[in-house]
Amino acid sequence: MTVMEQRKRKIIHILSNTREFVTADELSAALRLSTKSIYRIVKAINEDATIDYVILSEKGKGYRLSFHHQEKPQSQKAEMPNALTPVERRNKVMEELLLISPKRKNIFSLYQPFYVSETVINSDEKLISEALQRFELTVSRKK
């Protein structure tokens, strides 16, 4: 059995032993993994067509196992924005910035749905600024 399969089984075991929601932080502590790894494993479980259940996620609550779905969702991307690729995430942020321009937007509220670190935010900011320079647009960040 692969390491990924073992991790999937452990997550399913933890979720099957409770009716309550379990946060990604709780799962990451129990499995000694990063929360990003938990997101990826949950996504992989939900994309597995051979299982009869899904792991539901609710913002602010966590994850819960569900056996009541007749049909598995094709994609969890709408429910899990953190499942986006870095390019897709930057494009969504850039789109949001362009739509609200010239108004101000708090950078942390802008990135809140993506559950990324401040280092990732800073890196994204540089890449977004570079992309917008081609159109003679600038992004300014005030503290």
- pLDDT at residue 23, rounded to an integer: 92
pLDDT exceeds 60 at position 4 = yes
Task: Give residue-wise pLDDT tens across range 5-43.
Answer: 889 889 888 888 888 899 999 999 999 999 999 999 998
| Beta strand ranges found along 1-143 (DSSP E) | 54-58, 62-66
d(CA 36, CA 42): 10
- pLDDT at residue 70, rounded to an integer: 44
> Per the confidence metrics, is the pTM higher than 0.85?
no
Task: Give residue-wise pLDDT tens across range 39-98.
Answer: 999 988 888 777 777 888 888 889 998 875 444 444 444 444 446 788 888 888 888 888
- pLDDT at residue 17, rounded to an integer: 85
d(CA 122, CA 49): 37
Residue 45 contacts residue 12 (beta carbons within 8 Å) = yes
Average pLDDT for the chain: 82
- pLDDT at residue 68, rounded to an integer: 56
Instruction: State the average pLDDT over residues 109-115.
Output: 81
pLDDT exceeds 90 at position 135 = no
- pLDDT at residue 72, rounded to an integer: 46
d(CA 127, CA 88): 13
Give, as one character, the DSSP assignment of residue 86. H
